[in-house]
Structure 1
Amino acid sequence: MRFSDKFGALAERSFRLLWIGRTTSALGDALMPVTLAFAVLSAGGSAADIGLVIATTMVARTLLLLVGGALADRLPRRLLLGGSDLFLCAVQVAAGVLLLTGHGSVTLLLGTALCYGAASAITRPAIAGLVAQTISEARLQQANGLMELSRGAAQVMGPGLAGAAVAIASPGSVYLLDAATFLVSAVTLALLPLAPPARRSEHTHIFAEIAAGWSEVVRRPWYWVTLCGHAVWNVGSSAFAVLGPVIVARQAGGAANWGLVSACMAVGALIGAAVSMRYRPRRPLIAAHLALLPTVLQLAALTGPSPTVVVMGAALVGAAGVALLNSLWSTAVQKLIPEEVLSRVSSYDWLISFTVAPLGYAAAGPLAEAIGVTRTLELALAFVVAGVVAVLLVPRVRQLRQSSEGGLHGWPDLDNRASDDRPSTLAAAGEPR
């Protein structure tokens, strides 16, 4: 297959610029978990302080996600993302300089984490809408696959690069490097050749727009039931991350074996993203959610416990399935949800992921102590299967079909629309829908 066929989405200038910016930003984000830990320690903090800084980012993001979704539907998404990038660039420069000059403190890092969480609450819903604005409909799934691929590659390379950079230089230097990635992203967004957005209806109160987003969610049972299924799956799958290191570390090789398992998960995510760029299933939502079932293999491999090589293989397949789901699901949502409410609707998806997954992480350890590791893993297996089955029982999930060109049909409200009435992702002149 020719490069132009496999990476054809990059032939479209708008998406290419967005992809370059988001890939650079993703690499910067991937540097921060390792850097943050060393920054806290260098500022005189403890392990508890590291947890507090991480929690601050998560809480800020969770509390502001719905506001971010409403803003992304109200304001031009490119300007919103660019402003967020410039804001975080300034924040990281300030933090980096203070750390380099010996003025770093846990309080400073808490403030930085708060800014990071608030900005990401705006960024994530906005990206969902902006990808669809920068690519033709036929290449939308490929574009989402590329975004997933670059995110996975950044997560693979980031921790190692951060560790080397901290060892060679200092945490403050990595903060400045992260600031540079935000600047690159802001520049690419400024260069996006997008026309001004369509005139919005008269603005209402921000909370009214958030409520309107919720109304858009509940009037689509296929969407909110699927989100509930994802939430149940998240609770079950979290047991692997919590109990896996404990079980694998007891085997020959110890903690190093869990490093191999984690590496396999990273490789699996890259494979899944690469597959999603070429695989266009006839029943996209069925294929996407069947791809979540290999998570059962990961959990089952721990109940043995199985040899590390078996756990590694199961983790690779499971991670590949999650990456495939992410790409297929994002593409379907971007095509089925109206552009003017897409960010608000997507923010509820992110919100459920952020709020439910930590509950699973928190519950797995105490539950294993109360009822045993094996029974906890069996319960997690049941949650994973139940989450997938709940989604597959939704009639519209089973009915939705995809043509070889990427068009969706199989629902009356899709099939009854004349083809020339359907909004294309980009007009012939390159303008957003």
Structure 2
Amino acid sequence: MPRRGRAVRRTVTADARAHPFRALGTHNFRQFAAGQVVSVAGTWMMVVAQDWLVLELTGDSATALGTVTALQFTPMLLFTLHGGRLADRYDKRALLLAANLLSGLLALLLAVFVLTGTAGLTDVHVFAFCLGLVNAVEVPTRMAFVGELVPPHLLPNASALSAAYFNVARVAGPAAAGLLLTVLGTGWVMLVNAFSYLATVIALRRIRPAELYRTARAPGRTRVVDGLRYVRGRSDLIIPFALVAGVGLFGLNFQLTLPLLAKTVFHADASSFGLLTTVFAAGSLTAAFLTTARTTRPSARLVTASALVFGALEAAVGRVPGYPAVVVLLFLTGGASVYFAQAANHRIQLGCAPLYRGRILALYALILQGSTPLGALMVGYVAEAHGARSAFVVGGLASLGTGLVALCLRAGRGGPGPTGDDPGTLGPTTEDVRTGNVRP
């Protein structure tokens, strides 16, 4: 029997590598992915336009850009765990419909202010904070919803493809934004983003509810504290969460550091800024496609190693001279950042019970993105005082240090721990299906 099990796993792995887009064969995931490509491309156009607007309004102030970034991500810090609780308690499709409609309305209002010439820094602050409030619910709900779109054995591939289409949009969005900023101006880019949310709304409406792989809700109240207790009792989840915290806080502040590098070091125009962002995203996309072959839960060793590689590459961006060398390193850094984030995500998501998935992924999103406000302020201060290159060096060395600490902790424990580098929970168990907790 064990021999047969190994043969089955080898066959599944071979099939996975032969068909990296197999999750797209599922109607619901295919619809959702199509809507997300358009919507996320609009979002990245908005990121470029918003950053450019802030720099224009403030005379290239790194502190002002850091403040806007902090305002946008502060709600993630405060409310994401509650967003995960909502995702585990209520219909995820309905929550996503409401969140995307509200985000589109917010983007439309800011676009109108910019087009009419009445937008100021305060308006950008208000928009960033309100969008952050919506994202505190939308992000964990969207991440958990992927688990309902495909059968359990396709979850690793669907998660990897989600990162892939995110980075396809991340390549297309900034490139289009750089062109439109030059030709039409900031307001029109924001208007395009506002209407891009309709793509996700239409996709969600076309999803077939009867074909969703829903997990039965736990009896009684759905509490945030239950999810935290679940993580505390899982030693194999602690180190990836700690790595995500350290790297997210210090290293993943590219929304702030990339525009500063473009404007203050290379004195680039809008289209050149879009090129740097596109190169970074192209590396991210390459790494995302590499992870589509993953069929099992990644080991803790792989997660730690990917954090170390990312930290070294980011620090190198701040040290190498010349535009061509920076472009090459940004491509590699973008790939390393996504490879690390995906490895940590799969280590966590594929190791938790579906019943807690919304709250566990909310904690992941909280740590990864909610640490951005503090990180943006710290990195913004470093960039203001010592230049944009120093921000890359500090972020990279801090990420490298986090990985080394994790490596020492694993060595001190003498191994992977009681739950080890097990394959993890890829989805509902046979008992879940038999008792009616999910669709078979």
Q: 1:189: which partner in 2?
A: 204
Query: Is residue 35–residue 199 contact of structure 2 (8 Å, CA) maintained in 1?
Result: yes
Taking the TM superposition and a 5 Å limit, the aligned residue runs for 1:381-396 are 382-389=400-407, 392-393=410-411, 395-396=416-417
Q: TM-score, normalised by structure 1?
A: 0.77
Deviations 1:93-117 (A, max 9, x none): 3333344344544444333222211
Moved more, 161-170 or 45-54: 45-54
Query: Is residue 36–residue 50 contact of structure 1 (8 Å, CA) maintained in 2?
Result: no
Counterparts in 2 of 1:326 and 1:398: CA distance versus 1, 3 Å: farther
Moved more, 385-394 or 228-237: 385-394
* 1:13 and 2:27 correspond: yes
Counterparts in 2 of 1:329 and 1:89: CA distance versus 1, 3 Å: same
Aligned length: 412
Percent identity, aligned pairs only, is 21
Q: For 1:107 and 1:245, locate their aligned partners in 2 and report how far apart those are by CA, in whole Å.
A: 20
Q: 2:237: which partner in 1?
A: 223
Counterparts in 2 of 1:323 and 1:50: CA distance versus 1, 3 Å: closer
Which of 162, 169, 174 is the aligned partner of 2:189? 174
Taking the TM superposition and a 5 Å limit, the aligned residue runs for 1:338-353 are 338-353=353-368
* 1:137 and 2:152 correspond: yes
Q: 1:273: which partner in 2?
A: 288
Q: 1:405: which partner in 2?
A: none
How far residue 386 of structure 1 moved from its aligned partner, in angstroms, is: 2.0
SS of residue paired to 1:200: coil
AA aligned to 2:235 is P
Q: For 1:81 and 1:28, locate their aligned partners in 2 and report how far apart those are by CA, in whole Å.
A: 17
Which of 81, 103, 107 is the aligned partner of 1:66? 81
Q: 1:200: which partner in 2?
A: 217
AA aligned to 1:162 is A
Counterparts in 2 of 1:198 and 1:140: CA distance versus 1, 3 Å: closer
Query: Is residue 312–residue 397 contact of structure 2 (8 Å, CA) maintained in 1?
Result: no
Q: TM-score, normalised by structure 2?
A: 0.76
Counterparts in 2 of 1:5 and 1:302: CA distance versus 1, 3 Å: closer
Counterparts in 2 of 1:25 and 1:228: CA distance versus 1, 3 Å: same
Q: For 1:225 and 1:13, locate their aligned partners in 2 and report how far apart those are by CA, in whole Å.
A: 36
Q: 1:151: which partner in 2?
A: 166
Deviations 1:280-301 (A, max 9, x none): 5685443343222222432563
AA aligned to 1:322 is S
Taking the TM superposition and a 5 Å limit, the aligned residue runs for 1:205-354 are 209-235=223-249, 237=251, 264-280=279-295, 283-298=298-313, 301=316, 305=320, 312-354=327-369
How far residue 167 of structure 1 moved from its aligned partner, in angstroms, is: 3.4
* 1:420 and 2:425 correspond: no
* 1:162 and 2:162 correspond: no
Counterparts in 2 of 1:282 and 1:231: CA distance versus 1, 3 Å: closer
Deviations 1:164-210 (A, max 9, x none): 22333343333332122111101211221123855534554xxx712
SS of residue paired to 2:209: coil
Query: Is residue 39–residue 172 contact of structure 1 (8 Å, CA) maintained in 2?
Result: no
Counterparts in 2 of 1:50 and 1:238: CA distance versus 1, 3 Å: closer
Q: 1:125: which partner in 2?
A: 140
Q: For 1:258 and 1:96, locate their aligned partners in 2 and report how far apart those are by CA, in whole Å.
A: 21
Counterparts in 2 of 1:386 and 1:115: CA distance versus 1, 3 Å: same
Counterparts in 2 of 1:377 and 1:272: CA distance versus 1, 3 Å: closer
AA aligned to 1:399 is G
How far residue 226 of structure 1 moved from its aligned partner, in angstroms, is: 2.1
Deviations 1:48-67 (A, max 9, x none): 66554433212233222122
Gaps of 5+ in 1: 403-407
Q: For 1:3 and 1:360, locate their aligned partners in 2 and report how far apart those are by CA, in whole Å.
A: 37
How far residue 16 of structure 1 moved from its aligned partner, in angstroms, is: 0.7
SS of residue paired to 1:319: helix
How far residue 261 of structure 1 moved from its aligned partner, in angstroms, is: 6.8
* 1:93 and 2:108 correspond: yes
SS of residue paired to 2:207: coil
Q: 2:11: which partner in 1?
A: none
Deviations 1:271-317 (A, max 9, x none): 11111012456854433432222224325636865776665555434
Query: Is residue 272–residue 320 contact of structure 1 (8 Å, CA) maintained in 2?
Result: yes
Counterparts in 2 of 1:222 and 1:25: CA distance versus 1, 3 Å: same
Which of 21, 38, 54 is the aligned partner of 2:69? 54
Q: 2:7: which partner in 1?
A: none
Root-mean-square deviation over aligned CA pairs: 4.3
Moved more, 139-148 or 155-164: 155-164
Counterparts in 2 of 1:432 and 1:308: CA distance versus 1, 3 Å: farther
Counterparts in 2 of 1:192 and 1:240: CA distance versus 1, 3 Å: closer
